[in-house]
Amino acid sequence: MKSVEAIIERALGLKPGSIKDDASAKTVTEWDSLGHLKVLTELDSEFDGKLAEIDALAEATSIKQIREILLAKGVLTG
């Protein structure tokens, strides 16, 4: 299972290692509203379609927020 950072790098067409765990839509140019649609699609695909029910992800525009939501929903563990 890829890390959240790696999934987002792939979604936004960024080099591996370019996204750090404090990254957000405010700090990553490619992570605009269109980029966020790609992030949501890539995350949902990586997690086998399990994320479609998690409405809160629509507004989660930082690594921290995404990770917190996925942990709370049991999609990510520890």
Told to check if 33 binds another protein by CB under 8 A, we report: yes
One residue of 14, 36, 66, 69 binding another protein per CB under 8 A? 36
Question: Cβ 50 to another protein, closest distance in Å?
Answer: 11
- What is the distance between the alpha carbons of residues 69 and 56, in angstroms, rounded to a whole number? 7
The count of chain residues that interact with another protein, using the rule CB under 8 A, is 18
Q: Is 3 in the site for another protein (CB under 8 A)?
A: no
Should residue 49 be labelled a site residue for another protein when binding is judged by CB under 8 A? Answer: yes
- Residue 19 · residue 8 · CB < 8 Å: yes
CA distances from 23 to 19, 64, 74 (A): 6, 8, 22
